[in-house]
Amino acid sequence: MADISSIFRKWFASIDQFLLFTVLIIIAIGIWVSITSTPAIALKLELEPFHFVKQHIALIPIVLVLIAVISSLQPKHIRLLSLLGYFGSIVLIICTILFGTEIKGAKRWMNIFGFSLQPSEFLKPVLTILTAWLIAEQYKNAKFQGIFISLISICLVLPLLLFQPDVGMTLVIVTTWLAQLFISGLSITMILTFIFSSIGALSGLYFIFPHFTDRVNRFFGSNGEDTDLYQIHKSLEAFKNGGWFGKGPGEGTVKMNVPDCHSDFIFSVIGEEFGLLVCIIIISLFVILALRPLIKVLKSSSMFCYSAVFGIVFQIILQITINISTALNLIPTKGMTLPFISYGGSAMLSSAINIGFLLVLTKYDSLMYEEI
Report yes or no on 9 lying in a domain: no
Q: Residue 343 carries which side chain, given as an amino acid letter?
A: Y
Give the CB-side neighbour count of residue 136, counting CA atoms within 13 A: 25
Q: Which domain holds residue 44?
A: 14-368
Give me the chain's average pLDDT, please.
Answer: 82
What are the two backbone dihedrals, phi and then psi, of residue 302, each rounded to the nearest 5 degrees? -100, 120
**Could you tell me the maximum CA-CA distance found in the chain, to the nearest angstrom?**
69
Give the CB-side neighbour count of residue 81, counting CA atoms within 13 A: 21
Report if pTM > 0.85.
yes
H and E: helices and strands count for the chain: 16, 3
Report yes or no on 265 lying in a domain: yes
Tens-digit pLDDT profile for residues 185-235: 766 776 677 666 666 666 665 566 555 566 555 555 544 345 446 777 777
Give the lowest-confidence range in 280-289, 303-312, 362-371.
Answer: 362-371
Rounded Cα distance, 137 and 304, in Å: 8
Q: Residue 370 CB: number of other CB atoms within 10 A?
A: 13
Supply the pLDDT for residue 28: 94
The pairing of strands 101-103 and 115-117 is: unpaired
Report yes or no on 5 lying in a domain: no
Contact 180/303 with Cβ under 8 angstroms? no
Share of the chain above pLDDT 90, in %: 31
**Helical (H) or strand (E) element with 103:** strand 101-103
Rounded Cα distance, 178 and 161, in Å: 18
Report yes or no on 3 lying in a domain: no
Count of domains for the chain: 1
Please give the distance of CA 307 from its chain centroid, rounded to a whole number: 17
Report yes or no on 8 lying in a domain: no
Rounded Cα distance, 27 and 66, in Å: 14
**Helical (H) or strand (E) element with 240:** helix 230-242
Q: Residue 280 carries which side chain, given as an amino acid letter?
A: I
Contact 41/255 with Cβ under 8 angstroms? yes
What are the two backbone dihedrals, phi and then psi, of residue 370, each rounded to the nearest 5 degrees? -75, -45
Look at residue 106 and give its three-state secondary structure. Answer: strand
Tens-digit pLDDT profile for residues 222-249: 443 454 467 777 778 888 888 888 888 8
What are the two backbone dihedrals, phi and then psi, of residue 85, each rounded to the nearest 5 degrees? -65, -35
Rounded Cα distance, 277 and 243, in Å: 9
Q: Residue 353 CB: number of other CB atoms within 10 A?
A: 26
Q: Residue 328 carries which side chain, given as an amino acid letter?
A: L
Q: Residue 258 carries which side chain, given as an amino acid letter?
A: V
For the segment 2-16, the average pLDDT, to the nearest whole number, is 82
Given a cut of 70, whether residue 369 has pLDDT beyond it is: no
**Helical (H) or strand (E) element with 159:** helix 146-163
